[in-house]
A and B are shown apart, each in its own frame.
Chain A
Amino acid sequence: MSETRFTDQHEWVRLEGDTATVGITKYAAEALGDVVFVELPAKGRKVGAGGEAAVVESVKAASEVYAPVGGEVSEANSALEAAPATVNDDPEGAGWFFKLKGVAPGDFTKLMTQAAYAEFVKGL
């Protein structure tokens, strides 16, 4: 059973057990435009909640991707390095950025639910 939550920085995070998969939302991918480069965190790196974890760049600009929850990087989606446009094509699926293990459930439940995020985006 997994659940997806969202941040006001437009990351999504899906929790399965104590492992979280992180990516950027459809809204973020559309706002960024065509993604041409991603920089992913190294496996084993520890990141705190809200810490800089990855970089996503469009033709025009570079943006940070923050870790919505704290944890240790267990995997990065290296397929994005060769095919960064996947972030635009399937931001909330194949376009995931990295996985974190050892995630504290308290970090996760603080984040916005799908409904709350939809409401948040509507207000932007």
Chain B
Amino acid sequence: MDTPELLHRTLLYALHLELGAKMVPFAGYEMPVQYPAGVLKEHLHTRAHAGLFDVSHMGQAFLSGADPAAALEKLTPADVSGLKEGMQRYGLLLTHQGTIRDDFMFSRLAGEAPLYLVVNAGCKEGDFAYISAELKGAATLTTRNDRALLALQGPEAAKVLERHSPGISDLTFMRVVRASVAGAPAIISRTGYTGEDGFEISIEGADAEKVARALLAEPEVMPIGLGARDSLRLEAGLCLYGHDMDDTIDPVEANLVWSIGKRRKTEGGFAGADIVQDKLLNGVAKKRVGILPEGRAPAREGTEIAWNGRIIGKVTSGGFGPSLNGPLAMGYVESEFAETGTKIELIVRGNRLAAAVAAMPFVPHTYKRK
């Protein structure tokens, strides 16, 4: 028998149990994979109304110093210095080999010098140690694992949050603000991981349960577990770190070049810049693509991808999309097969199933841009 892993719990652990969640180990935490409604209903509810996710396992931190943006640019090819006040942006944290150590969100809060960072749960300890060590002398990282993080996602999220944070619905996509929610001080961004309009709400640990209960009490809101979080993000074409990218993959292969600032492409000055710039110029051997199987059979992570019987890649995330009402996947294929519409085969249980390279997102994003 395996030695049981010592698992952390978020501040909402008791609430998850009260709501009837099925708890599973994830990234070192005991997390709700689903509630009694089940993955399918939770997924569809989020796309139709609003879903509340506990994502407190993610790593939150502030980066301070004389010029934290210039410092952070040493580790990410994103344009950090150009980020305006009140804005949030997506970035990749790179190794010195130009591969992806993690992906993260960074924000510049109005009137505040430190940058606010959110990194993946499974990477946070390593990320924070890496950032602290690499930026020593230039910037100071203050981790805030004591804070909670909630995501309220779906077409009715704004209407719901407005009741607890008047004026918040004026915030547009990728903007961030300090505001009060249900009487608790919060950092609220209009972002998420579902492809839907929605918010991420960072609050003090002591307020976590109060805020979660206030939002769950709204008739539009249902608690949503990690199962539906995964199917929602896959339909939205969003990467899951450790699956769709890791430290063997570079930003060009991962098809995340859009996250590299224009200035940064030419100027460089980030970890692995020479390697990334070379790949930008000369191309890469494989690329991340979306995949739509023609039949009903899902192709799971690890499924081999073939073309005329020759293996050309592998699925990195795959399953069933409840909103798509069919199977979907993403994976890596040799670059010459990365064109949308290319016919490929998925080797599922020894059978070659017809599929095609597809554009992502699979389900259109509904972000509130203006």
Residues of A within 8 A of B (CB): 33-34, 36-37, 39, 55, 57-62, 81
Q: Chain A residues near B227: list those with CB within 8 A.
A: 33, 59-60
Is residue B310 within 8 Å, beta carbon to beta carbon, of the partner chain?
no
Q: Quick check: B320 and A36 within 8 Å, CB to CB?
A: yes
Q: Quick check: A55 and B349 within 8 Å, CB to CB?
A: yes
CB contact between A34 and one of B40, B298, B300 (< 8 Å): that residue: B40
A-B contact pairs, 21 of them (CB 8 A): A33-B39, A33-B40, A34-B38, A34-B39, A34-B41, A36-B298, A36-B322, A37-B297, A37-B327, A39-B297, A57-B298, A58-B39, A58-B320, A59-B39, A59-B43, A59-B231, A59-B322, A60-B39, A61-B300, A62-B298, A81-B296
Q: Chain A residues near B327: list those with CB within 8 A.
A: 37
- The contact string, 1 if C-beta is below 8 Å from chain A, for chain B 226-260, is 01101100000000000000000000000000000
Is residue B122 within 8 Å, beta carbon to beta carbon, of the partner chain?
no
Residues of B within 8 A of A (CB): 33-34, 38-41, 43, 227-228, 230-231, 296-298, 300, 319-320, 322, 327, 349
Q: Chain A residues near B228: list those with CB within 8 A.
A: 59
Q: Chain A residues near B296: list those with CB within 8 A.
A: 37, 81
A64 to B41, CA, bound (A): 24
Chain A CB count within 10 A is highest, among B40, B43, B227, B300, for B40
Q: Quick check: A37 and B298 within 8 Å, CB to CB?
A: yes
- Chain B, interface SS category: mixed
Q: Chain B residues near A60: list those with CB within 8 A.
A: 33, 39, 227, 230-231, 319
Minimum CB–CB distance for A36 against chain B, Å: 4
A33 to B228, CA, bound (A): 12
Minimum CB–CB distance for B40 against chain A, Å: 4
Minimum CB–CB distance for A119 against chain B, Å: 22
A59 to B297, CA, bound (A): 11
Known contacts A33-B39, A59-B231, A59-B319; can you find 15 more A-B pairs with CB under 8 A? Answer: A33-B34, A34-B38, A34-B40, A36-B40, A36-B322, A37-B296, A55-B349, A57-B298, A57-B320, A59-B39, A60-B39, A60-B230, A60-B319, A62-B300, A81-B296
A34 to B228, CA, bound (A): 12
A37 to B296, CA, bound (A): 7
CB contact between B40 and one of A57, A59, A62 (< 8 Å): that residue: A59
Minimum CB–CB distance for A45 against chain B, Å: 14
Minimum CB–CB distance for A122 against chain B, Å: 18
A97 to B231, CA, bound (A): 26
The 6 closest A-B pairs by CB, nearest first: A34-B40, A36-B320, A59-B39, A33-B38, A59-B320, A60-B227
Q: Quick check: B40 and A37 within 8 Å, CB to CB?
A: no
Minimum CB–CB distance for B276 against chain A, Å: 34
